[in-house]
């Protein structure tokens, strides 16, 4: 704790943020190394971390959860933006001492959690508003910000989309806003219809340099979903339709139904040409069919293929009780 000692000597009453060693010095001090297996790429340039933070809007007096703070570059920018309460969740133990040092420099403002954001109970991390019965129209003064490995940000956003629809996890507080980095191509696809991806950070800004550029995406959950069907159903329809992205839509739509029940569908569009109302119409139609045909919702064409393959090998003609049309279960 040599560095802490020096800083205390320089500022005996309080360690101020500006007295801290730079992020580069923190990395050297704690001998931090970016783990390739964990896709760790650090942002050391405060101008860039400030730019990401600006995408979140004003953070003055807000609550923020930062996911994957690592050596703390983005964390410093969030603190400098005037947040009242910052909770950081970091999986890798080696960053915790450096983050604790930062926490000492921002007394009462920075809470450090050593944990995995995929399992962390964010619904317990902040005090809840009094009534959770109705979603207030204004988003809460809580933001989530993160520069995560791409392997984590994609499953995480799918989990959070489900949380948004169920009002669980970070969304027990309301329409919590998210500002997250994604591989640039993913960021562009996520924002294709809204043109919200205003910031791109070139790969060369990261240490070590990843092979791709990075896009920052800001999300504000809608007050009302555009498709009023259960998340699982919508996710299934969208996943199936988009799995053959380069082909026509009918290919993916067919996979929503057991092989024997598939109808000839017109080859009209490619999945990327579908609008939200098109997906809504598909989800509504599929929901109607699922309510008329028990077991259709849980039908999985990959499972059917797997059983078929197994049966072929064992010489059996039984395709399993995956779905019986007409509601027989
Ligand atoms: C790409 S680095 C970014 C570090 C830092 N935010 C920056 O911008 O320099 C991603 C960070 O997320 C952390 N991380 C990876 N998976 C995580 C998880 N499941 N939960 C929490 N943190 C995670 C890594 O240990 C690493 O510190």
Whether residue 88 is found in the same domain as residue 192: yes
User: Has 115 been labeled as part of a binding site?
Assistant: no
Whether residue 16 is found in the same domain as residue 107: yes
Closest to 180 measured CA to CA, from 148, 209, 212: 148
Pairwise CA distance, residues 145 & 80, whole Å: 14
- Report residue 124 as tokens: 């317990």
Identify the H or E element spanning 65.
strand 63-67
Indicate whether 225 belongs to any domain: no
- Report residue 323 as tokens: 């779905």
Looking at residue 202, its pLDDT comes to 66
Ligand 1: lining residues by beta carbon, under 6 Å: 38, 40-43, 67-70, 73-74, 89-92, 95, 116-118, 147-149, 152
Looking at residue 1, its pLDDT comes to 34
Residue 10: CA count within 13 A, CB half-sphere: 14
Protein residue with its CA nearest to atom 12 in ligand 1: 68
Candidate of 149, 156, 199 to mutate for ligand 1, largest count of ligand atoms within 8 Å of Cβ: 149
CA of 150 to the centre of ligand 1 (A): 10
How are beta strands 63-67 and 142-146 bridged, if at all?
parallel
Task: Give per-residue pLDDT as tens, 220-246.
Answer: 888 888 889 999 999 998 888 888 766
Please report which confidence band the pLDDT of residue 29 belongs to, taking 50, 70 and 90 as the band edges. Answer: confident
CA of 114 to the centre of ligand 1 (A): 11
269 dihedral zone (left: phi>0; alpha: psi -120 to 50; beta): beta
Owner of token pair 């953070």: 59
Looking at residue 27, its pLDDT comes to 83
Listing DSSP states for 155-203 in one string gives: HHHHHHHHHHHHT-GGGGGSS-EEEEEEEHHHHHHHTTTT----EEE-G
Looking at residue 135, its pLDDT comes to 60
Write down which residue in 197, 219, 241 finishes a domain.
Answer: 219
Q: What is the DSSP letter of 30?
A: T
Helix boundaries (H) for the chain: 2-10, 23-29, 46-54, 73-80, 96-105, 150-166, 184-190, 231-242, 249-254, 276-292, 301-314
Closest to 88 measured CA to CA, from 73, 105, 101, 75: 75
How big is the chain, counted in residues? 329
Write down which residue in 175, 194, 219 finishes a domain.
Answer: 219
Give me the domain span that covers residue 160.
3-219
How are beta strands 177-183 and 142-146 bridged, if at all?
parallel
Whether residue 190 is found in the same domain as residue 49: yes
Whether residue 191 is found in the same domain as residue 269: no
Indicate whether 271 belongs to any domain: yes
What does residue 89 show for φ and ψ, rounded to 5 degrees?
-120, 110
- Report residue 277 as tokens: 């109302």
Q: What is the CATH number of the domain that holds 272?
A: 1.10.8.100
CA of 107 to the centre of ligand 1 (A): 23
Write down which residue in 219, 254, 289 finishes a domain.
Answer: 219
In this prediction the pTM is 0.79
CA of 40 to the centre of ligand 1 (A): 6
* Structure-model confidence comparison of residues 277 and 329, the more confident one: 277
User: Is cis: bond before 208, omega within 30 of 0?
Assistant: yes
Protein residue with its CA nearest to atom 2 in ligand 1: 40
Domain count, the chain: 2
Indicate whether 226 belongs to any domain: no
User: Which pairs from 24-31 meet CB under 8 Å and 24+ separation?
Assistant: 26/71, 26/72, 26/98, 26/101, 27/71, 29/3, 29/98, 30/71, 30/94, 30/95, 30/97, 30/98
Looking at residue 106, its pLDDT comes to 93
**Cβ 90 vs Cβ 113: under 8 Å:** yes
Provide ipTM, 2 decimals: 0.99
Pairwise CA distance, residues 44 & 154, whole Å: 23
Whether residue 243 is found in the same domain as residue 128: no
CA of 104 to the centre of ligand 1 (A): 21
User: Has 41 been labeled as part of a binding site?
Assistant: yes
**Cβ 164 vs Cβ 221: under 8 Å:** yes
Owner of token pair 């043109």: 195
Owner of token pair 């205390």: 8
Indicate whether 92 belongs to any domain: yes
Please report which confidence band the pLDDT of residue 6 belongs to, taking 50, 70 and 90 as the band edges. Answer: very low
Question: Exposure pattern of 130-139 as b/e (b: 16+ CB <10 Å)?
Answer: eeeeebeeeb
Task: Give per-residue pLDDT as tens, 160-175.
Answer: 999 999 999 999 999 9
Whether residue 269 is found in the same domain as residue 172: no
């Amino acid at each position: 704790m040599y560095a802490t000692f020096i800083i205390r000597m320089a500022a005996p009453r309080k360690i101020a943020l500006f007295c801290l060693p730079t992020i580069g010095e923190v990395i050297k001090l704690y001998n931090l190394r970016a783990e390739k297996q964990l896709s760790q790429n650090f942002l050391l340039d405060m101008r860039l971390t400030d730019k990401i933070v600006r995408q979140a809007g004003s953070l003055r007096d807000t609550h923020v959860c930062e996911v994957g703070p690592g050596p703390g570059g983005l964390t410093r920018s969030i603190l400098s933006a005037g947040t009242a309460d910052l909770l950081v969740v970091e999986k890798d133990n080696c960053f915790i001492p450096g983050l604790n040092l930062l926490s000492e420099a921002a007394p009462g403002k920075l809470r450090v959690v050593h944990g995995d954001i995929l399992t962390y109970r964010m619904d317990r991390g902040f005090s809840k508003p009094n009534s959770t019965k109705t979603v207030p129209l204004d988003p809460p003064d809580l933001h989530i910000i993160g520069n995560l490995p791409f392997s984590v940000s994609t499953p995480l956003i799918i989990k959070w989309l489900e949380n948004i629809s169920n009002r669980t996890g970070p969304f027990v507080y309301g329409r919590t806003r998210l500002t997250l980095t994604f591989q640039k191509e993913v960021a562009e696809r996520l924002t294709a219809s809204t043109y919200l991806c205003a910031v791109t950070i070139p790969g060369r800004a990261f240490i070590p340099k990843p092979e791709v550029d990075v896009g920052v995406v800001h999300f504000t959950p809608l007050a009302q979903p555009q498709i009023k069907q259960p998340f699982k159903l919508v996710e299934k329809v969208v996943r199936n339709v988009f799995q053959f992205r380069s082909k026509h839509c009918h290919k993916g739509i067919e996979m929503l139904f057991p092989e024997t029940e598939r109808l000839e569908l017109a080859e009209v569009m490619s999945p990327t040409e579908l609008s939200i109302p098109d997906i809504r119409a598909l989800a509504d139609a599929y929901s109607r069919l699922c309510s008329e045909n028990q077991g259709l919702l849980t039908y999985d064409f990959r499972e059917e293929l797997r059983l078929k393959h197994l049966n072929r090998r064992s010489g059996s003609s039984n395709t399993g009780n995956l779905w019986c049309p007409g509601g027989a279960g």
